Structure 1
Amino acid sequence: MNTAATNQTGLPAPHDTLMYAEAAQTAEVVATQFARNASVIATLAEDLRRNPPPFVATCARGSSDHAATYAKYLFETQLGIVTASASPSVGSVYEAKQKLEGALYLVISQSGKSPDLLRNAEAAREAGARVVALVNVEDSPLAQLAHTVVPLHAGPERSVAATKSYLSSLSAILQLAANWKNQAPLLDALDVLPDSLRAAWQADWSPLTEGLVDAHNLFVLGRGLGLAAAQEAALKFKETCGLHAEAYSSAEVKHGPMALVGPGFPVLCFAQPDETEAGMLALAKEFRARGAEVWVSSAHGELPLVKASHPACAPLLTIQSFYRAINALALRRGHNPDVPPHLNKVTETV
């Protein structure tokens, strides 16, 4: 970070934060990841086709758990494989044994050091699951426990707020799903994703930045493949901007939370370009009719969504555009996005 480039508040300029610099690297990270992981992913995918697991279990915390949400919807919609999130506490705190014989156990972590994830990975292995680690630190304890390691290749990430490591988790999941399915157009989508991410980084989401400078809370809505993007965005609002945000499925928000939406209430909608899009756009229209302040990320919304070569790529493009906008928003609200209060880069839970 260029510490000389600061404003009168002592905060860096938007282009000089670590968060900005690291998020801007995502396209190159993904291109490198796809190339370097081609062999390990092809081998893993071939074995999964030959010996399909009865189900997939994911285990992760924080942003990595949002990546697991993406894995759920991607594996279930593209592969028809039931995918569920395993609570780390069940294994690490309750020490309850799980019936995982033959399952694919996908552990996602940037550091690969958190004790609860390590205990669950070890327990899953003992229970007969195939443990696959998506991890940025290739020589981490988690990598040593796994049957197969899929490196994220995100490189060092010094900003506390994860950006490129989160998106490289999504791209690793996408590469695995595409090779496991082994069909176009999902495989073809991998080739153009880095260029699409470059375009997404240049998208103008300034209406969101301007509109939330004085906000106190908001809803972030997604659905299906786009729910993971909503979850990640809500977390980033909290940790980088001091802004209370809650993520909901556009279906679940109707079961109670929408009672809060009225005049002036901020709502951010991620319209996924698939079968869920029409419902999200209809909900945004309904909230606007109530007087809510609504921003929509879509091909025709206030927040432009770069056209995805496949709907499965859209959540990555959405978040890439979002990261640039929230970096600017944090600074406008007087926060340094690189050093959120009370947080550390590596969180080790038990």
Structure 2
Amino acid sequence: MTDRPALPAETDTLMFQEARQTAEVVATQFSRNDAVIRALAQQLRENPPPFVATCARGSSDHAATYAKYLFETQLGIVTASASPSVGSVYEARQQLKDALYLVISQSGKSPDLLRNAAAAAEAGARVVAIVNAEDSPLAALADTVIPLHAGPERSVAATKSYLGSLAAILQLAAHWKNEAPLLQALPKLPDALRAAWQSDWSSLTDGLADAHNLFVLGRGLGLAAAQEAALKFKETCGLHAEAYSSAEVKHGPMALVGPGFPVLCFAQPDETEAGTLALAREFRGRGAQVWVSSEHGDPGSNPEQALPLAPAPHPACAPLLTIQSFYRAINALALRRGHNPDVPPHLNKVTETV
């Protein structure tokens, strides 16, 4: 029997180092993409699409969830997720004339995304690619390319590229809407991300060291953060986690929540916050272990399970700050549980599906 490789120190993992770069990535992205975003936003205001379709997988699909709630709440544009297999496996043609077809990918190489992007273009959609690899096949197919400018990401677990995807979506929405609150939040976001990186979420790391499963809850704009967190628990820690809307969890899954059951709640600082905090109190009343991330605090929580959320320059920025704090905590948790977050078993950095 061979010995397991020694684990790196917490600050030496690629995941830690790459996630820590997010604030600089976002600042660079906002600057370099300003012209292309402004031009695209003006075109979308002059010729509004009837709807937006997103196409993505993995963490990029979680970014698409964020796009759905952001576009629908800020712009009133219906946004739906297109299943890649409908085009790549079933080869079913879709009615996409004049739609905005948003494809999100780190590598821009996955065959199913490429087939769907090509089919969307043939159907008359405007194809926009949010991609880290500007020289990728996906970028070549798109009408407009929004680069992430995240630089190389060597850890299998995506961090800065995921948050870069959210930032690109936020920048597009802000300029598309063209109103002060969102636009004024953009230059403040990098500093808010730096503050989020310093937030102390060690109570989550301590509390989940021996856990076997948990729920991660968010709602609205915060649902994408819950989805991403649940994936990272599985990917980096070998810990089974399921993400639910704090409304959807009441439709059956909450039957599992009893004494000792771990629940992580992301309280988005907007109209959904009160309901998420109420659900956290209900689960806590059942004896569940409940951690709450909240900008405004949770009066009923155990102080040892309160996770501080850095103040957001706009509620739409909060999911990025939540995940930035979470990435630091999950990196530490993976190592605590004996896993190297950079090399999850059975996974590759680039996943190519058909």
Q: TM-score, normalised by structure 1?
A: 0.97
Identical pairs, percent: 85
Structure 1 residues 118 and 9: alpha-carbon distance in aligned structure 2, compared to 1, 3 A threshold: closer
| Aligned partner of 1:310 among 299, 308, 314 | 314
Specify the SS of the correspondent of 2:179. coil
Give the deviation of 1:266 after TM superposition: 0.1
Match of 1:32 in 2: 28
The answer to whether 1:100 aligns with 2:104 is no
Instruction: Give matches, 1:1-350, under 5 Å.
Output: 10-299=6-295, 300-301=297-298, 302-350=306-354
Q: Distance in 2 between matches of 1:12 and 1:96?
A: 47
- Structure 1: any 5+ residue segments left out of the alignment? 1-7
Distance in 2, matches of 1:122 and 1:84, equals 18
Amino acid at match of 1:85: S
Amino acid at match of 1:94: Y
**What is the distance in 1 between the residues matched to 2:314 and 2:158?**
25
Alignment: residue pair count: 343
Give the whole-Å Cα distance in 2 for the aligned partners of 1:215 and 1:251.
Answer: 24
What is the rounded CA distance, in whole Å, between the counterparts of 2:73 and 2:166 in structure 1?
15
Q: 1: CA distance between counterparts of 2:5 and 2:192?
A: 35
- Take 1:35 and 1:225, find their aligned partners in 2: how far apart are those partners? 24
Deviation, 1:9, is 6.7
Q: Which runs of 5+ in 2 are unaligned?
A: 299-305
Q: Deviations over 1:249-287 (max 9, x none)?
A: 000000000000000000000000000000000000000
1:148 CA displacement: 0.3
State the AA in 1 paired with 2:185. A
Partner of 2:180: helix, strand, or coil?
coil
> Residues of 2 paired with 1:9 and 1:342: CA distance?
16
One-letter amino acid of the counterpart of residue 10, structure 1: A
Q: Normalized against structure 2, the TM-score is what? A: 0.96
